[in-house]
Amino acid sequence: MKKNMIMVALLLGMAGSLSACSSTVAPQINPVPYYTYYPASLATVVSATERALPAAGMRFTGTKTVNAQTVELRGYTAGGDAILITLHGLGASVTKFDARIGLYGHLRDVQDIEHWVGKYVGEAISAPAN
């Protein structure tokens, strides 16, 4: 629990220091490959992930809401390996991204998905409020 709080504090500090940037890519903290924290709501990251899989050349097959803080997204790589992405809302504006592909990981595929999720989350959080 203490480790999670430290990660959230680091993320918020990083997001605050980058708030003056005009980048449209969301800042990401990758303490361990396959885990990423995004400074956005769970709903925003779910929407971005649904768009990211096709953008990365993969097939999105569906979303399952596990509980109010957890959503699972599934799909397949171009090579046919199963994708399981679990998103955990850690607060109003922090979401943890966890991806598993196939039996052995496929770090490059995860990085491709993370790139597109970061792009779409960045666009969403930098869009002017209506």
Nearest Cα to 51, choosing from 113, 101, 127? 113
User: For residue 53, how many other CB atoms are within 10 A of its CB?
Assistant: 23
Structural domain span for residue 118: 2-126
Nearest Cα to 116, choosing from 50, 72, 42? 50
Q: How confident is the model at residue 18 (pLDDT cuts 50, 70, 90)?
A: very low
Reported as half-sphere exposure (CB side, CA atoms, 13 A), residue 12 has a value of: 11
Two tokens, residue 5: 């709080």
Indicate if the pLDDT at residue 19 is higher than 50. no
Residue 62: which CATH number? 3.30.310.80
Mean local confidence (pLDDT), 54-72: 96
Pairing between β-strand 70-76 and β-strand 94-101 as defined by DSSP bridges: unpaired
Structurally, how many domains does the chain consist of? 1
> pTM for the complete prediction?
0.73
**What does the pLDDT read at residue 8?**
52
Higher pLDDT, 7 or 22: 7
CA distance 122 to 94: 13
Higher pLDDT, 54 or 19: 54
Mean local confidence (pLDDT), 119-127: 91
Query: Which residues, in sequence order, are bridge partners of residue 74?
Result: 62, 84
CA distance 108 to 130: 37
**What does the pLDDT read at residue 106?**
79
